[in-house]
Amino acid sequence: MKPVPAKLGHGAVLVIGLTVAFGYPAVADLYAVIQLTNAAALALFALSLALVWGFGGILCFGQAAFFGLGGYAYAIAAINFADTTLAVPIAILVPAACAAALGYFMFYGRLNDVYMGVVTLTVTLILFKLANSTSGPNYRIGDARLGGFNGIPATPPLNRPFDPATLLTPEQILTVAVLVLLAGYFLCAWLLGRRFGRVMVAIRENELRAALLGIDVRRHKLITFAIGGGLAGAAGMLFAQNVLVSPTLFSLLYTAQVIIWVIVGGLGTLIGPILGSVGMQYLMAWLGAQAWVNTDLALGAILIGFVVLVPRGLWPPIRNFGARALDRLWRR
């Protein structure tokens, strides 16, 4: 069976993504536009963990920490600058820098996978408690009140670059969200196609062998972790467009959900976690509308079912089926 060329797959992703970015806002209603914007933001969140865990082999139970930091950094910067032009890169750089600082202590401290999982989860819980304890009027950064459990009120939506008087419409924000998701996907694909990506996968497969071959394992893990933190921060920034920036962004809900999305879509793939995230969000929204279903119980059952019955996730069998179908067409 002939493998499907990587360029063909990337081309299909680009065409579908551009069609959704520019075509869907023209035909969808406002509710559908906002829902898909949130789905694109969370898909980018899933992509960040797919890179860190699926290809870097770093078991991170605290990806929500960088997701929440991105949302908070965006809201605080946008309120203080009265312009979102600089708030967007700040929302990416702050989580990336925090991930780099945390990763430095973990990787150069030679923590094993179990302890890294515990540390990242603990950091997320600390940020959740810290954000919840900022409800007083004195808790502010510049003009931005943190608001405690109630969150930061009136987070400004995106505006045109260096034109704070012109705010983007929800349809334009959806276009931006899908384009950022595409940029994140192709950044990851570009990294994995270069020597850095091949070394990263080699470290995931056998870290000791990679170290014996002279590879700086800690440096590669640190860079991967920081990039994943930046992608999660960008996802938090996009999610803040339609959702109140509050301590909920650091909650265990997103910590658990993003892991489930990656497992359902396919660990070790890029497109799988994106599809798993979007599919699971719409499925949970539909199940939530059914009075007879407990969504938490359904989510747990789905996780157990995929771990036991489909451990590789949905995307690998779909990809293999598509490859066989293309092979039959080429033979004809």
Report pLDDT digits (tens) over 170-220.
999 999 999 999 999 999 999 999 999 999 999 999 999 999 999 999 999
Against a cut of 0.85, is the pTM above it?
A: yes
Per-residue pLDDT tens digits for 77-118:
999 999 999 999 999 999 999 999 999 999 998 888 888 889
pLDDT at 16 over 90: yes
What letter would DSSP give residue 245?
B
Mean pLDDT of the chain: 91
Amino acid at 249: L
Residue 68 pLDDT class (50, 70, 90 cuts): very high
Query: Which structure tokens are listed for 55?
Result: 């290809």
Mean pLDDT for 105-133 is 91
Look at the chain and count its residues. 332
Nearest to 84 by CA among 97, 92, 94, 74: 74
Residues in CB range of 189: below 8 A, 6 or more apart: 6, 10, 270
Q: Do the Cβ atoms of 94 and 69 come closer than 8 Å?
A: yes
pLDDT score, position 5 = 56
Could you tell me what percent of the chain has a pLDDT over 90?
Answer: 73
Residue 286 pLDDT class (50, 70, 90 cuts): confident
> Which has the minimum average pLDDT: 101-105, 132-136, 305-309?
305-309
Query: Which structure tokens are listed for 95?
Result: 């989580």
Pure H helices in the chain: 6-27, 30-49, 63-81, 87-108, 113-132, 170-193, 195-205, 207-212, 217-239, 252-265, 271-288, 295-309, 315-331
pLDDT score, position 185 = 97
Query: Which structure tokens are listed for 31?
Result: 């509710």
Query: Which structure tokens are listed for 322?
Result: 């598509």
Nearest to 182 by CA among 276, 282, 274: 274
Residues in CB range of 35: below 8 A, 6 or more apart: 285
Q: Which residues pair with 152 in a beta bridge?
A: 245
What letter would DSSP give residue 57?
-
Nearest to 77 by CA among 162, 168, 144, 164: 144
pLDDT at 1 over 50: no
Per-residue pLDDT tens digits for 245-264:
999 999 988 998 999 999 99
Nearest to 52 by CA among 215, 191, 193, 211: 191
pLDDT score, position 302 = 84
> Which has the minimum average pLDDT: 43-57, 138-152, 273-287, 314-328?
314-328
Nearest to 84 by CA among 10, 176, 203: 176
Concatenated DSSP letters for 177-229? HHHHHHHHHHHHHHHHHSHHHHHHHHHHH-HHHHHHTT--HHHHHHHHHHHHH
Mean pLDDT for 26-41 is 95
CA distance 97 to 31: 35
Mean pLDDT for 147-157 is 91
What letter would DSSP give residue 54?
I
Give the Cβ contact number of residue 244 at 10 Å: 16
pLDDT score, position 8 = 62
CA distance 129 to 113: 25
pLDDT score, position 120 = 94
Residues in CB range of 73: below 8 A, 6 or more apart: 87, 90, 91, 94, 95, 233, 236, 237
What letter would DSSP give residue 3?
P
